[in-house]
A and B are shown apart, each in its own frame.
Chain A
Amino acid sequence: MGKASAPRLPNVLVMDNGAHTIKAGYATRNTDPSDCTAIPNCIARSRDRRVYVGRQLESCKDFGSIVFRQPVEKCDAKSTTLILTEAPNAPTPLQTNMDQIVFEEYEFGAYYRCPASQLVVWNDIGQLFNPGTTLQHNAAECVLVVDSGYSFTHVIPVINGKSFQAGIRRIDVGGKVLTNYLKEMFSIRQLNMMDETYIVNEIKESCCYISKDPRRDLDICKRMKRNSIVKEYVLPDYKSLHKGILRERLEKVPQGKEAEQTLVVGNERFMAPELLFHPGDVGYRQTGLPDIIMKSVNSTPEEYRPLLLANIVLVGGNAMLQGLKERLEAELVPMAPENCIVRIGIPEDPIKYAWQGGVALGNNKTALEQHRIARADYLEHGSTWLAKKMAGQSLAAVQAGASSGVASSSNKRRRSSPG
Chain B
Amino acid sequence: MYPTVELLPNSGKTGTTGASSWYYSNAPPSQSVSAMPKPEDLRARKAKTAAVASITAPSFATTAASASDGTSDVVVKLDPATVRRINELEKVNWHDVQIKIEAPFSGRKPGKTQNVRRVLASQKTFQNHLSDDIANHELQLQNPLYKPDPYDPATTPLGYVRSVAEPPSTNATRYRRFCEICGYWGTIGCLRCGVRLCSGECEATHKEARCTRRF
Contact = CB atoms under 8 A, between A and B. Distances in A.
19 contacts: A69-B18, A70-B22, A75-B2, A76-B3, A92-B133, A107-B112, A164-B153, A168-B157, A172-B24, A177-B89, A188-B210, A189-B182, A194-B94, A268-B183, A278-B173, A285-B78, A295-B69, A397-B146, A398-B140
A222 B168 contact: no
Interface size class of B (residues with CB under 8 A): 35 or more
Given A72-B7, A91-B130, A189-B181, 19 more contacts: A71-B6, A71-B8, A71-B19, A73-B5, A101-B116, A166-B69, A171-B164, A172-B164, A177-B90, A218-B185, A221-B183, A221-B184, A267-B182, A271-B178, A281-B178, A283-B86, A284-B26, A287-B167, A396-B156
Interface in B1-44: 1-8, 17-24, 26
Interface in A68-101: 68-76, 87-89, 91-94, 97, 100-101
Contacts of A392: 155
A116 interface: no
B67 A166 contact: yes
A254 interface: no
B166 interface: yes
B167 A285 contact: yes
A114 to B, nearest CB: 13
Contacts of B26: 172, 284
B116 A176 contact: no
What 4 A-B pairs come out closest when comparing CB atoms?
A: A166-B153, A283-B82, A286-B165, A75-B2
B49 to A, nearest CB: 13
Nearest to A272: B183
Nearest to B91: A180
Nearest to A394: B149
A243 interface: no
Contacts of B159: 89
Nearest to A71: B6
A249 interface: no
Interface centre among A91, A392, A395, A414 (most CB of B within 10 A): A91
A414 B115 contact: yes
Contact of A172 (B68, B90, B147): B90
B158 interface: yes
A284 B8 contact: no
B213 interface: no
B142 to A, nearest CB: 12
B154 A165 contact: yes
A328 to B, nearest CB: 15
Contacts of B8: 71-72
A192 to B, nearest CB: 10
Interface stretch (A51-59, A233-241, A366-374): A51-59
B139 to A, nearest CB: 8
